[in-house]
Amino acid sequence: MSSRMPWHGVVVATALPFRDDLSVDLDAYAENLRGLIEAGCDGVCPNGSLGEYQTLTDAERAAVVRTAVETVGGDRVLAGIAAYGSMESRRWAEQAAEAGAGAVMLLPPNAYRADERSVLAHYQAVAEVGIPIVAYNNPIDTKVDLVPELLQRLHEAGYIRAVKEFSGDTRRAYRIKELAPDLDLLIGADDVLLELALAGAVGWISGYPNAIPNVCVELYRAATTGDLEQALPLYRELHPLLRWDSRTEFVQAIKLSMDLAGLHGGACRPPRVPLLPEQSDTIKADTLRVLPLEDKARERKQQA
């Protein structure tokens, strides 16, 4: 039996396409998912921030997880279960487990600046469901920081198996591995991919592979095997796009790049608003510059 967990490798935090009336287009979503796996991505993460889960109804959110499991198989699905309260996150963990997802990704409490005791209680409550949990540290948005010492406590208590690190502080990778060597470190932001790969990350919860999956897979494989001769120049080429993953407009940016790549990107639900013209122009120029690299990476994969 494979030892690969649903958070290992390139796991795409999937964007969610909507129809013209902003209803969820599950057929287009499934088509996107199939393309990601064909490109060599290892898994998908539905209902993350990039999937605009905060704007979905309960029925829509559940349907997205079911569609992901049915399309790519539960062992490839890391379902986002963030919610304001622990009871609701636990309910989403139960829904993901029932749908067949292999694991879930959980933010700390984010309705207020939770203290350490609250964070521990939150993860304990959801861990009781029995499905493996990946913690998601995003102190920029949640105002709750899962510092290495707290991650150590969560891991030693048996609540979490891995952490998606989105603090942007690459120095933390080494401290996390010192305190919790068996906790899987995952790259949480596209624009620190190389730095965290070299620090020992075993997965990448990724945004831009939604638009350019083949070349992103090549970059990740080169980075995690220490092939700097291939990884570094590719990273420099992609970085102007990858850094949008850490911007407020990351969903709009990635969806625009998807549209330019001929994929199902499209509009966002409010309150997200369209990009400013100068933002669109920058993203278009950078995407069009990178698309030939994506085409070449796809050709190499097909010939392999």
Exposed/middle/buried for 183, CB within 10 Å: 0-12, 13-18, 19+?
Answer: buried
Mean pLDDT of the chain: 97
- pLDDT score, position 1: 35
Q: What percent of the chain has pLDDT over 90?
A: 96
In this predicted structure, the answer to whether residue 105 has a pLDDT above a threshold of 80 is: yes
Q: Confirm if 199 and 177 have CB atoms less than 8 A apart.
A: yes
Q: Are 134 and 105 in contact (CB under 8 A)?
A: yes
Topology given in CATH for the domain delimited by 9-303 = TIM Barrel (3.20.20)
What percent of the chain clears pLDDT 70, i.e. is strictly above it? Answer: 99
pLDDT computed for residue 166 by the predictor: 96
Task: Report the DSSP pairing between strands 203-206 and 184-187.
Answer: parallel
Instruction: Give the C-alpha separation, 175 to 196, whole Å.
Output: 12
pLDDT-derived band at 32 (thresholds 50, 70, 90) equals: very high
The tens digit of pLDDT for each residue in 86-97 reads 999 999 999 999
For the chain, the domains span 9-303
Tens of pLDDT, residues 179-189: 999 999 999 99
pLDDT tens digit string along 264-291? 999 999 999 999 999 999 999 999 999 9
| Pairing assessment for the beta strands 162-165 and 133-137 based on DSSP bridges | parallel
- pLDDT at position 111, please? 81
Q: 32-71 burial, b for 16+ CB within 10 Å, e for fewer?
A: bbebbbebbbbbbbbbbbbbbbebbeeebbbbbbbbbbeb
Per residue in 141-169, pLDDT tens?
Answer: 889 999 999 999 999 999 999 999 999 99
Both tokens of 178, joined, read 């010192």
Which residue has better confidence, 173 or 4?
173
The pLDDT of residue 2 is: 52
Cβ pair 216, 224 in contact under 8 A: no
β-bridge partners, 76: none
What does the pLDDT look like over 36-57, one tens digit per residue?
999 999 999 999 999 999 999 9
Q: How confident is the model at residue 110 (pLDDT cuts 50, 70, 90)?
A: confident
Asked whether 32 and 264 are in contact (CB, 8 A), the reply is: yes
